[in-house]
Amino acid sequence: MTIKADTWLYVVIQKKGVNEQIVGQTDAEHEISYIPAFNSKADAQQAMFHLHLEKKSKYEVQAVIYEDLADHAKEGGFVIFVLDDEGKIIQRLPADA
C-alpha cells in the first residue's frame, strides 16, 4: 500500500484523564523509537495485544492523517512502522529514515 500525505492510518492513543498521547514503542535491540501505525482499525485493535502497554492505562484506536502523524513523529524523534494485525512490520515511514 502506498502511503500518501492524505492517507488515513490508525494509531493507539493512551488516555490520561483529559490528556491523550500517541503510543510510541522502542526497539531496544536496534535502538529505534517508533510509532506503531496500522492500515485498518481492526488491525490496530488486534495488534494492541502485541504492543508493550501500561497495564492500568486506558487506550483507544484513532484515525490520523499520515501527514500529521509524520510531523508529530519527526518532532519527537520517532519513525513510523506500519504493522499488521500480529504486530509485524509491513512498512517503515519515511522509507529513507
DSSP letters for 52-65: ---TTSEEEEEEEE
Inform me whether the pLDDT recorded for 95 exceeds 80. Answer: no
In a domain, 85, yes or no: yes
Classify residue 1: in a domain, yes or no: no
Task: Grade residue 96 by pLDDT with cuts at 50, 70 and 90.
Answer: low
Residue with grid cell 504486530, as numbered in its chain: 87
Residue 20 is assigned to a structural domain of this protein:
yes
Query: What confidence score (pLDDT) does residue 16 get?
Result: 87
Supply angle C-alpha 36, 78, 80, rounded to 5.
35
pLDDT (tens digit, 9 = 90+) per residue, 28-41? 999 999 999 999 99
Q: Which domain range does residue 33 map to?
A: 8-93
What is the pTM assigned to this prediction? 0.92
Instruction: Report the percent of the chain where pLDDT is more than 70.
Output: 97
- The domain total for the chain is 1
| Helix H or strand E segment including 79 | strand 79-83
Phi, psi for residue 76 in degrees, rounded to 5: -95, 0
Closest of 58, 66, 2, 4 to residue 35, by C-alpha: 66
Residue 2 lies in a domain: no
In this prediction, residue 97 carries a pLDDT of 54
Q: How confident is the model at residue 1, as a pLDDT?
A: 78
* pLDDT at res. 94: 84
Residue 3 belongs to some domain of the structure: no
Pairing assessment for the beta strands 58-65 and 79-83 based on DSSP bridges = unpaired
